[in-house]
Amino acid sequence: MKILKAVNNRPYDIWCTDSFTDLKKSIQAICQPSSICIITDSHVAPIYLETIKNIGQQIAPTYAHVFKAGELSKNITTLTDIYDTLLMHKIDRSSLIIALGGGVVGDVAGFVASTYMRGIPFVQIPTTVVAQNDSSIGGKVGVDYLKYKNIVGAFHNPLLVYTNISTLKTLPKRELIGGMSEVIKHALIYDASLFEYLVAYKNQILSLEDSVVEEMTYRSSQVKCSVVEEDPKESGVRKILNFGHTVGHAIETLSDFKYSHGECVAYGIVVAAYMSYKRDLLNLTQVDQMIELCREFGLLEPLDKYATSDIWQHMTYDKKKAYGKVSFILLKGIAHAIIVTDINEKEVEEAMKFLEETCG
C-alpha cells in the first residue's frame, strides 16, 4: 500500500492499495458523517455496491443511487435524479457522498457534491484505469451539455481518493486498454522515467500484476498531483494535462461516444505529436516511439473519418478556450509539454490525415 498527499487549497490523501480492507479506517480518519450516499452506475453496482455499502453501514446510515452507465448519462437530468435521492434520504452538509466507479461517476458525483447545499464532502473510489490515474485526482468535476464535454463544471476536491487496483481485474478489456492513454499522457508530458517504465513492463501491466500496476498507478498519480499542486484552478501549467484531449474530445463527441474517452485521447496524442513534429519540436523517431507505445497497449484501432471543419468547430467550443483562443498542448521532447495558442485549422487538417493513415 502507498499513500500520496495531494496538496493545494485542501489537502487530501490518495491511497493506492489492492483491497478495500482499509477503506473504513481511511474514511473515519477524515470525517464522521451523519449519513452516506453512494453514487455509482449500472456497471459497477452489481460488482462492488454491496461491499462498499456494508462498509459504509459500519460508519453511518448508508444509501445509494445507481444511474445508467455511460457518457450519455453525464448530463443535467442525471443530476436532478440524484438531487431527488439526496433529498429523499435527508442528506445534509454533515453527510458524505461516495463516488464509486469510473470517470463518469466521479465527475457526476463530484459535481453533485460541489453544488448540493452549496457543497458537501465526498470521497472518490475509482474503479477504472482512467479514474485511478487521472480523473479522480485534482478536483475537476462536471457534466456534458448539448454534447459539449464537461462544459458545466466546478473545482471541488474530494476528502480522500481510495484506489483499489484489484478492481481493474473486473474491467472489460477495452476499458483497461483505453485507460492506458491517460497514463501514457502523464509520461509524455512530465515523466520520462514513467515512459520507460511503461515500455519495460507493458506485458505485466496488461496482465495486471499487482506490484507493477500499483507502482504504475502511484507514479502516474504523482504526475497528476505535482501538476495540480502547482496550478489548482487550471490557469497555467495545469493545462498540460489536456495533452491529447482537445482533439480527443472532439472525436469523442462527433462519434456520439462510439469510441471511449481513453481511445479518443490516444487519437489526440497522435495528432498533437504530429503537429509538434511539423513545428520542429519533435523528430519522427520520437513520434514513432509514442505511436508504438500506444499500439503496444492496444490503442489506435481504425478510426472513422471526420471532417476537419467539424473537428475545428468542436475545438473552438472547448472549455479551455479563453480570449477567443484555444490552448493546445504540444511536446518539445518526451516529458516536456508546452502550451500554444496559435494553432490553425490547416495544421489540424494535416494532422488528422496523418492520424487516419496511422490508424488505417
327 pLDDT band, cuts 50/70/90, is confident
Share of the chain above pLDDT 90, in %: 88
Q: Which residues pair with 300 in a beta bridge?
A: none
Q: How far apart are CA 39 and CA 100, in angstroms?
A: 6
Domains of the chain: 2-170 (3.40.50.1970), 180-358 (1.20.1090.10)
Residue 323 has pLDDT above 80, yes or no: no
Q: How far apart are CA 112 and CA 267, in angstroms?
A: 31
- Predicted local confidence at residue 326, as pLDDT: 80
Secondary-structure percent of the chain, ordered helix, strand, coil, rounded to 5: 50, 20, 30
- Predicted local confidence at residue 319, as pLDDT: 53
Q: How far is CA 229 from CA 42, 81, 121, 322, in A?
A: 33, 33, 20, 22
Task: Record the pTM.
Answer: 0.90
Return the biggest CA–CA distance within the chain: 59
List, for residues 116-157, the tens digit of each pLDDT value. Answer: 999 999 999 999 999 999 999 999 999 999 878 889 999 999
For the chain, the C-alpha Rg in angstroms (whole number) is 20
List, for residues 303-322, the tens digit of each pLDDT value. Answer: 999 999 999 998 887 655 55
Q: How far apart are CA 58 and CA 50, in angstroms?
A: 13
| Mean pLDDT, the chain, whole residue set | 94
Q: Which residues pair with 3 in a beta bridge?
A: 15
Q: How far apart are CA 283 and CA 240, in angstroms?
A: 20
List, for residues 225-284, the tens digit of each pLDDT value. Answer: 999 888 787 778 889 999 999 999 999 999 999 999 999 999 999 999 999 999 999 999
Residue 31 has pLDDT above 90, yes or no: yes
